[in-house]
Amino acid sequence: MHNPIALQEIIEKAISQISYPNQPKKLYDPIQYIMNLGGKRIRPILVLMSAELFNDNLTPVIDAALAIETFHNFTLIHDDIMDNAPLRRGEKTVHEIWGTNNAILSGDVMMVEANKHLAKLDSAVLKDALETFNTTAQGVCEGQQLDMEFEQRDDVTIAEYIEMIRLKTAVLLGGAMKLGAQVAGANAQQTELIYQYGESLGIAFQLQDDILDVYGNPEKFGKQVGGDIIANKKTFLMLTALQLISPEEKKEMFKNYATEAEKIKHVTELYNKYKIEELANKEAERYIQIANHSLNSLPVLEERKVELKQLTQQLLNRSY
């Protein structure tokens, strides 16, 4: 069994060995660029960790992990365009360097590259792997669409928000783990349990992100604290608060403030008044319990689950 650091090294080596065509340079250079920007490689690591629950041989699973990482980075290129984001992992985004049209086209080709990785899988698992990958990819796109639509709506419910983050974030974790299990030879019951684990973990992870955006330490969290408040983003915290605050407080929440810092301070005070952080933590904990139940129900040796449980704890214990 490998620990996450060892698996990350395996992923980095595999990425470094990918050979893209030399021409047209403006099509393939952006792909090389974003694939080598680094990151934690959580999704491909989860592919490999899931596979190791069932099989010690990781070689047949590498291309499945590369497919997931390529797809993930494809979504980042397009997300950055939609958000007009100037930076990704501390460096210029693809569209800032090569322009929007080139970035869109390079992202499209990354979807092709992801499928080329999948095509290398053993024929015995290829059909199921393709179904899992395509269902996952479609779900992520549906989640992104819902997220954009929510920006124009004032009647988003908490249930709708949970479904949106399930699609946009959680299905990719669940799909990555199901894919790893399938390639490693797991049966249908096992792959369903590991999918449920990954999906529930993904929802908990996003809810924690919502909390850390308000209450996190920016140096440890790696993002601007209060960004969601400034953008009036419909997070679990905001939607929960809107159910509890008075009409007068609702007007205060959305009024024009002199500074962003003033708005963050005022909205955070409202959250504190109604114990919104506590309610959000309870919801995240509920999904963690669902995830743990699925993992505990998985009929494999407990010793094979140790590294996965430790990684889960690390992901969910990100520092405030």
Which residue carries 């490999």 as its tokens? 48
Q: What 3-state class would DSSP assign to 151?
A: coil
Length of the chain: 320
Q: In tens digits, what is the pLDDT along the chain, a chain of 320 residues? A: 899 999 999 999 999 999 999 999 999 999 999 999 988 999 999 999 999 999 999 999 999 999 999 999 999 999 999 989 998 988 999 999 999 999 999 999 999 999 999 999 999 999 999 999 999 999 999 999 999 999 999 999 999 999 999 999 999 999 999 999 999 999 999 999 999 999 999 999 999 999 999 998 766 655 568 989 998 999 999 999 999 999 999 998 999 999 999 999 999 999 999 999 999 999 999 999 999 999 999 999 999 999 999 888 887 777 55
Q: Are 172 and 79 in contact (CB under 8 A)?
A: no
Sign (positive or negative) of CA dihedral 281, 311, 32, 223: positive
**What pLDDT score was predicted for residue 89?**
86
**What pLDDT score was predicted for residue 311?**
83
Q: Which two tokens stand for residue 83?
A: 């958000």
**What pLDDT score was predicted for residue 62?**
98
If one counts every other C-beta atom within 10 angstroms of the C-beta of residue 134, the result is 13
**What pLDDT score was predicted for residue 138?**
98
**What pLDDT score was predicted for residue 223?**
59
Q: Which two tokens stand for residue 204?
A: 């908990």
The domain 4-316 belongs to what CATH superfamily? Farnesyl Diphosphate Synthase (1.10.600.10)
Q: Which two tokens stand for residue 226?
A: 């209060």
Q: What 3-state class would DSSP assign to 91?
A: strand
Which residue carries 């290129």 as its tokens? 77
Determine if the peptide bond prior to 24 is cis (ω within 30°).
yes
Cβ burial 241-251 (10 Å sphere, 16+ → b, else e)? bbeebeeebee
- Rounded Cα distance, 221 and 216, in Å: 6
State the Rg of the chain over Cα: 20
> Where exactly are the structural domains of the chain?
4-316
